[in-house]
Amino acid sequence: MNNTDSEYWSLYENGNKLSPLIYSNGKTQESLVKEVSDLIKKGKKVIFIHGVCGTGKSAIALNLGRFFGKASIVVPVKNLQKQYENDYYQKKYLLDKKGNKLKISIITGRENHDSIIIPGVTCADPFLPDTIVITEKNKDKIINYYRENPFIQNKMNPQINKLRRISIAPANPYWSPIRSIDYPFTQLKDARQKIYRGANRKTHIFYHRKEGCSYYDQYQSYIDSDIIIFNAAKYEIEMAIGRKPETAIDIIDEADAFLDNFSKNDNLNLTRFFLSLQTFHPEFEETFRVRDKILELINLEHKNKLATGIMENEIFPLKDTFIGKALRILAKSEALKAEISLDEAHYANKALETALTFEDLFEETFVSYSRDDKELYANLVTINLAKRFSDLCAKTNALVLMSGTIHSDDVLKNIFGINDYAIVKAETKMPGNLEISETGQEIDCKYDNFNSGKHTREQYLKALSASLETAKKPALVHVNAYQDLPSEEEISLLSLNNMLSKDGLRTIQTNDKLGLEIEKFKSKLKDILFSTKCSRGVDFPGDICNSVIFTKYPNPNANDIFWKILRRMHPGYFWSFYKDKARREFLQRIYRALRSQDDHVFVLSPDLRVLEAAKRLNDQDQS
């Protein structure tokens, strides 16, 4: 143990020791780490940490990992992953119990890493030996990669449809796959075989070849890092295929968003799945038969939809469909799973992730179909979120879920099936000051009022324009749905000159891959930011944002397939979850501009429901 660090706390910045924060309830970050650790040692597996902005949850998570020896930390978006990197790769650090710096690693996707063998492109480039689609149109490149494979001695003129990933990927000397020990490689003679235990409790081998590629080298952290930080999407993929390493504790930041994501639709392109599987050439004889059966079922699904047509609002039990049968077969074939998971860039890998996500949920998963430019899509969703949470628990040793907006008790129990849990309170007092600004034109924007003719769209748009005009700038506009904004025609007709059109916002956000619009707003290069993407993971402290405008109260889209099915199957639970999600989204959007006790923000909206919610929040904070 380092002389100056306690068992439960270590944090330094530029060589100076940082003391734990003290909360308004008298607790500290250090006492919180001890409280959670004691609960886990006593056998409590699921623990929620309730802490608003100012709790310092990242330092708590890292110190929990420090205490237990090895941890996975999950953040909802890449922005927060980047925040950990900025904070703990440069100025700040923790010391382990021997006085050495804690080893913290961040796992990111291919697009975040530069290729070594082809300068100027990322590791996600579709023409690398380890990513190129094995098809006739890529014949010349594929044959070159085949000839560059150092492990094939007697090279022939190959048939493209006989080649597999292992035939060409070794041409990239940095290619370092991970595979279950049940299906080992014998071809990669130059690889150092590094063995670890996965979250699925099975042994995996990391075939680490030439060092120097940051994408493949990052998986060394599965072997020797103290803390591994994932974004939620990568974590779910690694969990689904069982490749994520087992850790003593898994800690999920913004946990309510993570749990809500269990209800998200999984959109599977069946046309692309069929074509990708046709070009997939298995290594083992048994997988040929499995692949061909899956192809037959997908083909039957295509024929069925051509014969019956597609009603996009029609919902079917997955178990009664051809695609359901195909995914069930895929999930059960260990050999095919091992081969497909090797080929990360192949669309069949996406289908495998879908199959494994719903593997134990086929009885309570539903599917709707859609067609886009001749391609057939299956949109899958389950309402059995309790089973999804149970599956997550089965793959973790201890699970800590951190959020400033925890679900209500009845939602945790009735929707997620979480009955045995503890809640540890950190800083729960809302930071800063919230002030309501009214224009006098606000209306109750619930759907029934527009449907009955009590209010009109013109009234709504003019009230929104009045909010924009009144707001103290800079102002963040939380756009609940694109439809909340006017069309170009409405802007012209109603003289809404301070508004952005719905198509204009969609175009801006589609083209803004790097988040430059947010950076412009933070840098005060623009005084109004319209966004559908700033509910979480973005901070606008101090005078960066003086006003927050809601286009409408953030109710979920009731026409979404999940809410439709939940309302039909479990009407008793529907409203509690629906209202709870809206409440948490409202708070998260407010918190974007309230980051410290010194912050002050005005709240405006054409929707009376927003102002009423803000008043209730102020009343609770003062009581």
Express as a percent the part of the chain with pLDDT over 70.
99
The residue out of 381, 403, 423 marking a domain boundary is 381
Same structural domain, 551 and 468: yes
Which residue carries 């270590």 as its tokens?
10
What are the φ/ψ torsions at residue 194 (nearest 5 degrees)? -115, 120
Domain span including residue 616: 433-622
Question: Tokens standing for 211?
Answer: 């060092």
Whether residue 487 sits in one domain with residue 614: yes
- Rounded CA gap, 585 and 497, in Å? 29
Taking Cα atoms as reference points, which of 309, 355, 298, 310 lies closest to residue 330? Answer: 355
* Residue 208 β-bridge partners: 192
Percent of the chain past pLDDT 90, that is, above it, reads 81
* Exposure letters 468-482 (e unless 16+ CB within 10 A, then b): bebbbebbbbbbbee
Query: Interior CA angle at 231 toward 228 and 235, to 5°?
Result: 75
Order of strands across the sheet with 104-106?
A: 104-106, 227-231, 71-75, 249-252, 399-403, 46-50, 422-425
CA angle (27, 52, 524) in 5-degree steps: 130
| Contacts with 478 (C-beta within 8 Å, 6 or more apart), sequence order | 531, 532, 534, 535, 548, 549, 550, 551, 554, 589
Token pair for residue 28? 């500290």
Whether 514 and 444 share a structural domain: yes
pLDDT at 79 over 80: no
Q: Looking at residues 166-179, what average pLDDT do you find?
A: 96
- Please give the torsion angle defined by the CA atoms of residues 554, 560, 566 and 571, in that order, rounded to the nearest 10 degrees: 60
Q: What is the pLDDT of residues 102-126, one digit of tens each?
A: 999 999 989 999 999 999 999 999 9
Q: In whole angstroms, how far apart are CA 30 and each of 55, 88, 229, 275?
A: 11, 18, 21, 54
CA dist list (Å): 229 to 49, 108, 133, 495: 18, 9, 30, 49
Which of 351, 381, 411 lies at the terminal end of a domain, its last residue?
381
Residues 443 and 553 both lie in one domain: yes
Tell me the pLDDT band of 3, cut-offs 50, 70 and 90: low
**Quick one: 470 and 342 in the same domain?**
no
pLDDT for the residue numbered 361? 93
Residue 441 lies in a domain: yes
d(CA 589, CA 270): 36
Residue with tokens 């009407």: 571
**Residue 79: alpha-carbon gap to chain centroid:** 11
DSSP of 312-325: TT--EEGGGSHHHH
Give the dihedral sign, CA 563/565/571/576: negative
Among the listed ranges 79-83, 201-205, 208-212, 527-531, which one has the minimum average pLDDT value?
A: 79-83
The more confident residue out of 73 and 343 is 73
The reply to whether 177 falls in a domain is no
* Phi and psi torsions of 604, nearest 5°: -135, 155
What pLDDT is recorded for position 313? 83
Q: Are residues 504 and 566 in the same domain?
A: yes
Which value, in Å, is the radius of gyration of the alpha carbons in the chain? 26
Pull the structure tokens for residue 609. 């429901």
The reply to whether 552 falls in a domain is yes
Select from 220, 222, 215, 244 the least CA-distant residue to 130.
Answer: 215
Domain of 592, CATH number, reads 3.40.50.300
Kindly indicate the confidence band of residue 623, based on its pLDDT and cuts at 50, 70 and 90: low
Q: Give a yes or no: residue 62 inside a domain.
A: no
Is the same domain home to 377 and 452?
no
Distance CA 494, CA 462 (A): 8
Average pLDDT over every residue of 128-137: 92
Q: Tell me the mean pLDDT in the region 48-73.
A: 95
> Which pLDDT band, with edges at 50, 70 and 90, does 54 fall under?
confident
Q: Which of 381, 416, 443 corresponds to the end of one domain?
A: 381
Rounded Cα distance between 362 and 332, Å, is 13
Q: What are phi and psi of 553, to 5 degrees?
A: -65, 135
Q: Which two tokens stand for residue 532?
A: 């559908």
How far is residue 193's CA from residue 74's CA, in Å, rounded to a whole number? 27
579 with 459, same domain: the answer is yes
The strand pairing partners of 251, in sequence order, are 73, 400
Mean pLDDT taken over the chain = 93
Higher per-residue pLDDT: 71 or 187: 71
Cα separation, 475 vs 498, in Å, equals 12
Cα–Cα distance, 7 to 30 (Å, whole number): 9
pLDDT in tens, 324-377: 999 999 999 988 998 898 888 789 999 999 999 999 999 999 999 999 888 999
Task: Say what the pLDDT of residue 434 is.
Answer: 95
pLDDT value at 543 more than 80: yes
Would you say residue 490 lies in a domain? Answer: yes
Q: Which amino acid is at 479?
A: V
CA dihedral 57, 250, 350, 218 (to 10 degrees): 80
pLDDT at residue number 342:
82
Is residue 81 in some structural domain?
no
Amino acid at 138: N
pLDDT digits (tens, 9 = 90+) for 434-462: 999 999 999 999 999 999 999 999 999 99
Q: In this model, does residue 1 exceed pLDDT 70?
A: no
- 44: pLDDT confidence band, cut at 50, 70 and 90? very high
**Nearest CA-CA partner of 207 in 245, 236, 227, 180:** 180
If we measure between CA atoms, which residue out of 487, 435, 493, 490 comes closest to residue 611? 435
Digit-coded pLDDT (tens) for 457-470: 999 999 999 999 99
Short-list 156, 159, 130, 162, CA closest to 145: 130
Interval 249-259 mean pLDDT: 96
Answer yes or no: is pLDDT of 6 > 80: yes
Answer yes or no: are the C-beta atoms of 65 and 228 closer than 8 Å. Answer: no
- Give me the pLDDT at residue 455, please: 97
Statement to judge: residues 375 and 479 lie in one domain: no
The answer to whether position 426 is within a domain reads no
pLDDT for the residue 154: 84
* CA distance linking residue 328 with residue 331, whole number of Å: 5
Q: Are residues 330 and 453 in the same domain?
A: no
Distance CA(191)–CA(396), nearest Å, equals 30
Inside any domain, residue 75:
no
Shared-domain flag, residues 449 and 377 = no
Judged against a pLDDT cut of 80, whether residue 411 lies above it is answered with yes
CA-based end-to-end distance of the chain: 44
Number of domains forming the structure of the chain: 2
What contacts 324, CB < 8 A, 6 or more positions away?
317, 318, 362, 365, 367
Task: State the Cα–Cα distance between residues 246 and 201, nearest whole angstrom.
Answer: 7
Question: For the residues 591-612, what does the mean pLDDT come to?
Answer: 95
Q: Do 354 and 289 lie in a common domain?
A: yes
